[in-house]
Amino acid sequence: MTLELNQVAQQVKAMGRSLAEQRPRLDEELARAQSLLREFSTSYSELHDRIQRAERAQQSQRFEWVGAAPTQEALAEVYPLPPCPAELTVIASDGSQIHPDPHAITLYYLINTGCIIYRHGSNQKPETYNPKPKLYYEPEDLFDEQGRLISTGEVNVKRDLAELEVLTNLGPAYAQTVPEPVVALMDGQLTLRVIDLPFDQQQERQDEYMGLLDLLREANVILGGYIDRPRSTFALSLIYLASLDIEQINEETLRRNAFRTLTDIELFNFLGPGERSAVFTVRAKGLDRYTRAGHAIHFFYLNVSRNPASPHLARVEVPAWIVTNRPALDTLHAAIVRQAAITGGYPYVLARADELAVISSEEREAVEIMLAVEMRQQGLSPEISLKQRNKNAYRFGRESFRL
């Protein structure tokens, strides 16, 4: 053991005391934020004016204002659990990957996806679907034009595209063949994170991604992104603007958010079992392309717990075409709560999709062994780096670098 736990112990005690000391101040901040939420609950015009002022104030900065904007739902209102259709098809996909490792026996990466289809009211067992895993090893897959190895961010983008592609392959097919609504759930946000890509690839990948969203919209598939235990502060950024007079909103005040130590799920801690918050729009410059394509990102907070004494709030993201279709929004709301009830707090289909997609350490080792055998058969020498060899020696308890 290399971590000196006795040296950490006193710091842990100090951390505990600090957390306890912070609580009264956080409670005061939360009470003020919730008071503002109620005060500006239907002040849509005033809030939009403040948002525009904040966006103009930070136009000259590298990072522009990011927060929530109201729709036409009262901000402090509680929206109860709607009836769930007796028959309902819920599809979820997830993905996993092995990133390229310069210290492994050779360079490659692998993407695996899993999917599950749960037909409520059908008395059928859930169906599982695993597309063929994709192994990438050709030079054009691994290196850019300057010979740089593909980044983990680029691999993650390919994984996210693969996850959505599974939904676009199955969602519309079910929507055409079953009479009940079809819901498609993704684990995480609906937007594709392209910031880690080379600039010339960002637009191309976003266009590909939004083309898949188009297919789901055209097929009337109800799409939602589920974020468990979110740390987001979109709504609190809006509430902070509400706390300022419009003339006070400038670059300096925007850097001093009075609610920066709170999160949105604390702001909406008054939601009861099955209840959701108002629907908000995400305001961020990087989302302009989604808005122009008709996929403007919206969100609401949802208490998926059935126990009033133990709430569990998640953030649910939805595109604009779900927000404008109230029956679809209600169906998504009810479907997520129904799914979460199966496992006691997390949608069953997302949990199962993760199990189907995840690549275990044993499976990764099996891939490495297959590669090593094949390389030897081809007259090649599979060798890990000296750095990795020494890590392995330490990990498996062998003597290493001992004088």
Can you give the residue ranges of every domain in the chain? 88-357, 361-394
pLDDT score recorded for residue 306: 92
Token pair belonging to 283: 């305001």
In this structure, are residues 214 and 252 in contact, taking their beta carbons and an 8 Å threshold?
no
- Residue 345 main-chain phi, psi, to 5 deg: 145, -5
pLDDT score recorded for residue 364: 92
User: Which segments in the chain show pLDDT lower than 50?
Assistant: 399-403
CA torsion 287-290-291-295 (nearest 10°) is -130
Please give the radius of gyration of the chain, using alpha carbons only, rounded to the nearest integer: 24
pLDDT score recorded for residue 399: 47
pLDDT score recorded for residue 403: 39
pLDDT score recorded for residue 63: 63
pLDDT score recorded for residue 7: 83
Amino acid letter at 264?
D
Of 385, 369, 365, which Cα lies nearest the Cα of 377?
369
Angle between helices 5-39 and 234-242 (to 10 degrees): 50
Three-state SS across 5-52? HHHHHHHHHHHHHHHHHHHHHHHHHHHHHHHHHHHCCCCHHHHHHHHH
pLDDT score recorded for residue 402: 45
pLDDT score recorded for residue 58: 78
pLDDT digits (tens, 9 = 90+) for 304-317: 999 999 999 999 99
In this structure, are residues 293 and 324 in contact, taking their beta carbons and an 8 Å threshold?
no
pLDDT score recorded for residue 401: 42
pLDDT score recorded for residue 158: 95
Give the global pTM.
0.91
pLDDT score recorded for residue 62: 59
The count of C-alpha atoms lying within 13 angstroms of the C-alpha of 103, restricted to the half-sphere facing its C-beta, is: 8
CA torsion 323-326-330-333 (nearest 10°) is 10
pLDDT score recorded for residue 394: 67
pLDDT score recorded for residue 397: 61
Q: Name the fold adopted by 88-357.
A: archaeoglobus fulgidus dsm 4304 fold (3.30.2170)
